Amino acid sequence: MLIFDVTCSSCLFSPGTFAREGSMYVVDDDGTRVRCMHPLEHKAIEAVLGKDAGVDIVKRRTGRQHQWLCFRCSGVSELDSQVDRVGCALCGSSVGRFFYDLDGRPCPSCGEGPMKVVETGLVS
């Protein structure tokens, strides 16, 4: 997976890096999301669900989360847009965007920008 950096072209505010594919997770028996590190996602799934987990269970208990930047507090939340309410885990605001959708948008820190999404050349 290619790694991208998000940075304001005016004030150099940078909330972090991301992979467009997001990060895979598996939900354990307690309901906690366990990140599945690339390229060994299957190992994490097997460790949490067991070797004999059926396709139905794997589909129900896995997902992909993406970094979401809050424009109110600049907090970063890991959200699965298929499952989670889109909003800040820190302040509760729903005003923000996923990192992959920040390119060309005004900077939430300085109001100028624009934000730039640039490939870092790194691969995870």
> What is the predicted pLDDT for the residue at 103?
97
pLDDT band per the 50, 70, 90 thresholds, residue 1: confident
Tell me the pLDDT tens digit for each residue of 5-43.
999 999 999 999 999 999 999 999 999 999 999 889 999
Q: Region 48-61: what's the mean pLDDT?
A: 96
Q: Is 40 exposed, middle or buried (0-12, 13-18, 19+ CB in 10 A)?
A: exposed
Q: Is 38 exposed, middle or buried (0-12, 13-18, 19+ CB in 10 A)?
A: middle
Q: Are 96 and 68 in contact (CB under 8 A)?
A: yes
Average pLDDT for the chain: 95
> What is the predicted pLDDT for the residue at 113?
86
- The 3-class secondary structure across 47-95, one letter per residue, is HHHCCCCCHHHHHHHEEEEEEEEECCCCCEEEECCCCCCCCCCCCCCCC
Q: What's the pTM value of the predicted model, to 2 decimals?
A: 0.87
Residue 76 has pLDDT above 90, yes or no: yes
